[in-house]
Amino acid sequence: MNAYATGETHPTLNEMLGTRWRRPPLVQRAWLRWVLVIGGIAYLIAAFLSVEVNWTRVYEGLDRGGAFIMAFTQPNFVSRADAIWDGMLESIVMTVASSVVGILVSIPIALGAARNIAPLPIYLICRGIIAVSRALQEIIVAILLVAIFGFGPFAGFVTLSFATIGFLSKLLAEDIESMDRSQAEAVRATGARWSQWIDYGVKPQVIPRLIGLSIYRVDINFRESAILGLVGAGGIGATLNTAFDRYEYDTAAAILLIIIGIVMALEYISGIVRARVQ
Amino acid sequence: MLRLDALTKTYKTGDQALKAVTLDVPAGQVLALIGPSGAGKSTLIRCINRLVPPTSGTVTLADVDITGLGAGALRRERRRMGMIFQEYALVERLTVMENVLSGRLGYVGFWRALTRRFPQKDVDEAFRLLDRVGLLHMADKRADQLSGGQRQRVGICRALIQDPALLLVDEPTASLDPKTSRQIMRLICELCAERGLAAIINIHDVALAQMFVARVIGLRFGEIVYDGAPDGLTPETLNEIYGEEDWEATIEKVDEDGTAEAAE
Amino acid sequence: MPVIESSEGPVWRLRNRNETLTRWFVWLLGIAIFLWCWQQISDATTWFFVWDAPNIAGDILGRATPPRWSYMDNLWWPIWDTLNIATLGTIGALILAVPIAFLAARNTTPSTLFIRPIALLIIVATRSINSLIWALLLIAIIGPGVFAGIIAIAIRSIGFCAKLLYEAIEEIDQSQVEAVTATGASRWQVMVYGIVPQIMPAFAGIAVFRWDINIRESTVLGLVGAGGIGLQLQASLNTLAWPQVSLILLVILAAVVISEWVSAKVRGAII
């Protein structure tokens, strides 16, 4: 019939004509397919049934929801201007300070967490720090730190620095581990010391990525700083919480608009910087 | 059957890709379109089924003016023009069968397409075509598991299942090795002869074109500079199409290849 | 890289004089800003508490261990709620993110001038605001509970999913779309045959990735009253029941590790 027929037997054209054609299923084993489908549906039904929704409350809430959306058209920056200004300033201060400290600390930890640079004991310690930092969410760390340090931006500052370390060190360490060996070896072959080797062989390869990631992290830190106030760790979150509690939607809308505006500006700047660095 | 009248395409950048091309293709004629890169070959083919909208001029297929059609009517006319692509342009993550059946999309409704419930007539025709190109046993393989030559065969099936009157073929062999290239060209020409289809084949390889087609069009800077039989291509005409070059070797090679091909 | 002529012959420097000065100035400015920020934080801090922190931390640790294991019986239902918030929230977000992504992608949007900016605005707005804030807002509107948590997670995830998805749509192979169009397929058929198969792997990856993140986020939504295990955490913190707090933190840690493992497995199976 054709030159491509192999040893396997395939149905011939005459056998196949008139038969229905179905797309082969994604999961080949039939029992597994049915288990997945039925299990999925059963879970969804159980999940939906266990969610208690107070529909009258939701219905009543629609008015307030509408009022909130309307508030976005006329946000009120004025009546709580002092609180907004102080909260925003505190958020920005926390963002800047924690980003700087976080980045500075994360560089040595990243070097220590790169298997091709660091000896094993240091590697394990640094990886441990990263794992702890990544597993604990900012807000939980903030709660614990508020309990320890007391209310105020210091707890928020430590929280964000700690989170920055986990984020940056991990990505940076992966970058160092995947860097081009030949360039680094060429520098070492000139007889450079370890510090010189890092400076000339490693640094030029990872600096662009470090800058890109750092700016991205500044962006995240700012967004996170907006919620730390909910647990008393400083920043705009406290003001926002108060605004919601008092149903002052126009003030809340103003704060949210400022947050969105700053995040957009940061994303724009980070786009420009990353384009220039790479 | 197909008539292009003063077909012009000017891109937004100001490049004039086609300058008032006028061309008549009778039913059942296979013609090759040759010319240097950037001569407007791809644009010409894409202007015919309006994947690229022409700036001015008309395209008439069996007395229907394609250039003036609305979206729905254009879809109906596109069914009559099968297209075969350079890089196969199969939907990589769909199966061979789905790719072939996608040629029937112009004939079935949205829900049938979504649920893959094509009429049995179409499924049978897909089986027949796959058998004709020797890929029936691959029907349920995913397209990205196929070799280049096999993918192009699937591409041919997809174009033919549309039941077209005309094939638009864009560099069918550019990504294939020389042997597979010939097999594919022969297959296209055989199928056109079997079904009485007209075809416009864009092709880089002058020798390959001369081997298989009855008529050659030379395009340069968006203008037709040669229109005639393949053996009318002399070094002078090739100079005109492609620019100054020593053509003797190419043409000689063509003759040798031609004999070798005939002897196979 | 200028070569400067000096009395001892040419000297090679990495940068010329002006560039060097500018760099120094930028560094100086940066350090000044940082120091000012530090000053602000320092002023707002009671340093006595900070110096006393090791004692307090030790004290809390002492109270929190051992965890009160019997409290686990009260946690199974909140864990189930947390899972539901993350899963249903992710599903809701995906349902809304798909159309927004198609409206935002340059090659599928019906109008670059009007609709695309609106879609991008939705993406930025939902992404910029943390799910805890969305939860606060929704609780003010529809009252506390799991439902508010689901909606908060869904809204927060729309921007994230839609952004990644529309980037995937913009990266598809256009020739496959062209080929399907050339068969005479309608706009929706082209979508189903030419575009959807190409973005399916990206879609599945995004869904699982976001689900993993949402498990983390839904564990703390209860802090503001939006259901899940965070409610128990808040209650335990308010009563200073440290052994319960430590147990809940262990549960959250386990949930985070398990969800990361599941998501890595599923993504591995897809790609």
| Cβ atoms < 10 Å from Cβ of A175 | 17
C184/B110 touch (CB, cutoff 8 Å), yes or no: no
pLDDT of residue C154 exceeding 90? yes
Rounded CA Rg of chain C = 27
> Do C132 and C92 belong together in one domain?
yes
Q: Which domain holds residue C107?
A: 73-270
Q: For C83-128, how does the pLDDT look when each residue is reduced to its tens digit (9 = 90+)?
A: 999 999 999 999 999 999 999 998 888 888 889 999 998 998 888 8
Question: Quick check: is A6 in a domain?
Answer: no
Task: State the pLDDT at residue C195.
Answer: 92
| Residue A145 included in any domain | yes
Contact A2 B134 (CB under 8 A): yes
State how far the Cα of B19 lies from the Cα of B8, in Å rounded to an integer: 5
Q: Residue B154 — pLDDT band, cuts 50, 70, 90? A: very high
Higher-confidence residue of A61 and A105: namely A105
Check whether residue C55 and residue C177 sit in a common domain. Answer: no
Mean pLDDT, to the nearest integer, of B107-131? 90
The per-residue pLDDT for range A220-272, each reduced to its tens digit, is: 899 888 888 888 888 888 888 888 888 788 888 888 888 888 888 888 888 78
Would an 8 Å CB–CB cutoff place C191 in contact with chain A? no
The CATH number of the domain holding residue A139 is 1.10.3720.10
Q: Nearest C-alpha of chain A: how many angstroms from B88?
A: 20
Percent of chain C with pLDDT over 70: 94
Domains and CATH numbers, chain B: 1-80+165-264 (3.40.50.300), 87-163 (no CATH)
Average pLDDT of span B58-62: 89
What three-state secondary structure class fits C175?
A: helix
pLDDT in tens, A168-202: 998 888 888 877 777 777 777 777 777 777 777 77
- Is C48 in the same domain as C111? no
Tens-place pLDDT, residues C250-262: 898 888 888 888 8
* Between B108 and B249, the higher pLDDT residue: B108
pLDDT above 70: residue B175: yes
Residue B249 clears pLDDT 70, i.e. is over it: no
**Which residue in the set A64, A150, A227 is minimally distant from C141, CB to CB?**
A64
| ipTM exceeding the 0.90 mark | no
Strand B223-228 relative to strand B215-220, pairing? antiparallel
Mean pLDDT for chain B overall: 86
Residue B248 confidence class, pLDDT cut points 50, 70, 90? low
Q: Evaluate if residue B258 carries a pLDDT over 60.
A: no
**Measured between alpha carbons, how far is A208 from C196 in angstroms, rounded to an integer?**
35
pLDDT at A278: 65
Last residue of a domain, one of C35, C64, C93: C64
Kindly report which listed range (A234-238, B46-50, C47-51) carries the lowest average pLDDT score: C47-51
pLDDT of A2:
44
Using pLDDT thresholds of 50, 70 and 90, give the confidence band for residue B263: very low
pLDDT at A208 over 50: yes
Is pLDDT of C268 > 90?
Answer: no
pLDDT at A38: 93
Which pLDDT does position C6 carry in this prediction?
A: 65
Confidence band (pLDDT; 50, 70, 90) for A1? very low
Is the Cα dihedral C93, C94, C97, C99 positive or negative?
Answer: negative
Residues C226 and C256 in one domain: yes
Task: Indicate if C158 and C47 belong to the same structural domain.
Answer: no
- C53 contacts in chain A (CB < 8 Å): 148-149
Rank A67-81, A202-216, C237-251 by mean pLDDT and report only the highest.
C237-251
Quick one: pLDDT band at residue B251, thresholds 50, 70, 90? low
Q: C53 with C143, same domain?
A: no
Structural contact between residues C248 and C234, judged by C-beta atoms closer than 8 angstroms: no
Q: Please report the pLDDT score of residue C196 as a whole number.
A: 92
**H-helix or E-strand containing C65?**
none
d(CA C100, CA C115): 10
Residues C213-235: what's their mean pLDDT? Answer: 88
Q: Which stretches of chain C are DSSP H helices?
A: 17-43, 47-64, 76-104, 115-128, 131-142, 146-170, 174-182, 187-190, 196-220, 229-238, 242-270
Residue where the block lists tokens 């000139």: A190
Nearest to B97 among A2, A17, A21 (CB): A21
Whether residue A147 lies inside any domain: the answer is yes
Q: C-chain residues within 8 Å CB-CB of B90?
A: 176, 179
List chain C residues with CB under 8 Å of A61.
Answer: 141-143
Work out the pLDDT band at B123, boundaries 50, 70, 90: very high
**Average pLDDT score, chain A:** 83
Same domain, C57 and C77: no
C257 touches chain A (CB under 8 A): yes
| C256 contacts on A by Cβ (under 8 Å) | 135, 137
Instruction: Using alpha carbons, select from B164, A238, B179 the residue that is nearest to residue B156.
Output: B164
Q: A181 in a domain, yes or no? A: yes
Which pLDDT belongs to residue C39?
A: 87
Distance between start and end Cα atoms, chain B: 34
Domain extent, residue A193, equals 79-277
Q: Please answer whether residues B39 and B220 qualify as being in contact, where contact means their C-beta atoms are separated by less than 8 angstroms.
A: yes
The nearest CA of chain A is from the CA of B4 a distance in Å of 39
Of B74, B114, B122, B73, the residue nearest B97 (C-alpha): B122
Per-residue b or e along A250-261, where b marks 16 or more CB atoms closer than 10 Å to that residue's CB: bbbbbbbebbbe
* Per-residue pLDDT, B259: 42
Residue A87, pLDDT > 80, answer yes
pLDDT for res C155: 93
**Whether C164 and C243 share a structural domain:** yes
What pLDDT was estimated at residue C5? 63
Whether the per-residue pLDDT at B204 is higher than 50: the answer is yes
- Number of CB pairs, chain A paired with chain B, less than 8 A apart: 44
CB-based contact C46 A135, cutoff 8 Å = no
Alpha-carbon gap: B203 to the closest alpha carbon of chain C (Å) = 18
Q: Considering its fold, how many domains does chain A have in total?
A: 1
Q: Per-residue pLDDT tens for A117-158?
A: 788 898 999 988 888 888 888 888 898 888 888 888 888 999
* CATH number of the domain enclosing C77: 1.10.3720.10
pLDDT at A160: 92
Distance from CA of B70 to the nearest CA of C (A): 12
Question: What is the per-residue pLDDT for C271?
Answer: 63
Do residue C45 and residue A152 have CB atoms under 8 angstroms apart?
A: yes
Counts of helices then strands in chain A (DSSP H, E): 12, 0
Main-chain dihedrals φ then ψ at residue C9, nearest 5 degrees: 95, 180
Instruction: Give me A208's structure tokens.
Output: 């662009």
Do C91 and C36 share a structural domain? no
Do C21 and C154 belong to one domain? Answer: no
Cβ-based neighbours of B149, under 8 Å, separated by 6 or more:
B176, B180, B183, B184
Output the DSSP codes for C66-132: S--GGGGGGTHHHHHHHHHHHHHHHHHHHHHHHHHHHHHSTTT-S-TTTHHHHHHHHHHHHHHS-HH
Q: What pLDDT shows up at residue B257?
A: 46
Q: Output the pLDDT for position B126.
A: 92
Looking at residue C95, its pLDDT comes to 95
Short-list B132, C100, C52, C251, CA closest to A2: B132
Chains that contact B by 3+ CB pairs under 8 Å? A, C
- Number of domains present in the structure of chain C: 2
Same domain? For C59 and C82 the reply is no
- Fill in the DSSP letter of residue C192: I
Do C124 and C16 fall within a single domain? no
Q: Answer yes or no: is A218 within a domain.
A: yes
